[in-house]
Amino acid sequence: MTEQSEFMSGVIEGFYGEPWTQGERFELFGQMSRWGLNTYFYGPKDDLKHRAIWRECYTNPETEWLGSVIQECATHGIRFIYGIGPGLDIRYSNPVDIELLQLRLEQLLSLGCQNFAILFDDIPDGMDADDAKRFGSFASAQCHVTNALLLRMRERCPQVKFCFCPTPYCGRMVAAGLGGEGYLETLGEHLDSEIEIFWTGPEIISQEITVSHILEMQRLFRRKPLIWDNLHANDYDGRRFFCGPYSGRSPELRNLVSGILSNPNNEFPLNYVPLCTLAMFVHNTGYWDARAAYLAAMKDWLPQFTTLHHSIPLDDLVLLGDCYYLPQEEGFHAEALYQTVETVLDPSADDWMVHFHHFREQSSRLKTLCFRLTELRHRRLFYALSRRIWELREELDFLERYVAFLTTRKDPKELFHPEVHLAGTYRGGIVPRLQRLLNRQVDGTFQTTSPVSSVP
C-alpha cells in the first residue's frame, strides 16, 4: 500500500441497534470508493456473535454473507476490519477463552479477512477474582489476551493487523477512573506497538478534538491514536439524527492520528452528508470550511429527495438539515428559527410583528416540506426521517397556534387550551413525564422543580 492508503479513513458499523442490510452495505462501499474512503469496520453491537455470544462461531449461512461483505470490500479496494467484543464475560486467565477467540478470528481469516479489532468498550468495570489475582489490572489482562491473539494469528497470516478499543476510550472516562489507575500508560507500555488503539476524543461524542489533546494521547499510547468518531452517532437518542458536516477537527490532526473512522447514524440513508464531508475533510489540502462542505454535500444529496408530485428545493433541504445538524450545534437556519420563536413568545419585544411574520413563513416552509417528504420515492429514506420530521411538524404547529393565541387573547392571565394537541397524547408518556421532573439549566446542570429534603 502507498503511504496515503495506510491512513485509515472510513466507516464503523458499530452502533447499538438494528444493523444495516447487505444492500445498504454494498451501497456504502460504492459511495466510499467514489469518495476515496478506504476502510470499513464491521462491529454492530446487535450482531449477537460480535458481543453477547462471542464464543459461538458463525454458521455456514452466516459465513456466506460475511464472506460476500469481505469480497465486496475487496472489489472496491476497501480494507475490511472485523471486530469482536468479548469483554462482557471473558475470563482473561482462561486459555479456553483465548482459544475460542482464536477460532473466531481463524474463521474470518478463511473468508479473506486480515484485519481484526479486539474491543473492550462498554463492559463491567470489574474482573473475575482469578483474573485480578493473576494480572492485577484490567489493562494488563487485556494486553495479555490481545498480544497472545496477535502472535497466534501472525503464525497463520504474517500480514494480519490488529486494532484495540480500550475500556476507557475517551478523556472523561479516564478522568472518572474507569479501567483503574494507569490504564492508558499500561496499554502504551505493554500492548504490541503495531496494534492500533481507538480513541473517541475528550468525550464519547466529542464536539472538538484538538491537536494538543491528540499529542497527549500519542504520549500515553506511544503511537498515533486511531480516531473512532461518534460525532454523527445517534444510537443514544432515537428522537434525533445528525446530517451536519464533519467539523470540530483541525486538518492538522490528519498527520497526528493513524486514521479517522466515523461511527454514524443508525439509519443508513441519513449518513450521506456526514460521510461525504468526512471524505472531503480527509482529502482537503487547505483551510477546512465545514459549512461550505455541508452545502456542497447537501446539493449532491438532493437527487435522493425526488417525490411523486413535487421537487424539493435545495434551500428547503438545507433548512431541514440545519434542524438536525450536530449533537451540540444547530445549523445556521435552525438557530435563527429558534431565536425568532424565542422573540415571538414575548409580545412586548421590539419589532414583534416582523419576527412573527418571519416565524410563520419559516414554520410554513418546514411543515409543508415535512408533508411532501411523505411522498418520497426513496422509501427507506422516508422511513428513516418520518418519526423525526413529524415530531418537528407537530411542534411547529403547536407554536403557531400558541402565538396566534397570544395575538387574540383579551385577558393576559388567560391560559392556552390547545384543541388539537391533547394532554396525554401530545408530549405524553413516561419518558416526557420523567423529564419534566427536573429543570435543565443552560450550563447542563439540573435542579428540581420543588425543594428536596435531605436524604437521611
Catalytic residues: 122
CA atoms within 13 A on the CB side of 331: 25
Q: How far apart are CA 423 and CA 428, in angstroms?
A: 7
194: closest CA among 153, 227, 224? 224
Amino acid at 108: L
Q: Give ∠ CA 90-93-98 in degrees, rounded to 5.
A: 60
If residue 11 lies in a helix (H) or strand (E), which one and from where to where?
strand 8-13
CA atoms within 13 A on the CB side of 327: 20
- 412: Cα separation from own chain's centroid: 45
- 328: Cα separation from own chain's centroid: 13
The number of beta carbons lying within 10 Å of the beta carbon of residue 156 is 12
Q: What are phi and psi of 354, to 5 degrees?
A: -60, -45
| Residue 70 near residue 42, CB atoms below 8 Å | no
Structure-block grid coordinates of residue 37:
474512503
379: closest CA among 267, 212, 283, 297? 267
Query: Which residue matches cell numbers 447537501?
Result: 298
Q: Is residue 131 helix, strand or coil?
A: helix
Query: Which residue matches cell numbers 449477537?
Result: 48
Tell me the CA distances in angstroms from 160 to 3, 82, 98, 100, 141, one per residue in order. Answer: 18, 12, 17, 18, 22
| Residue 120 near residue 43, CB atoms below 8 Å | no
Hey, what long-range contacts does 338-342 have (CB within 8 A, 24 or more apart)?
341/399
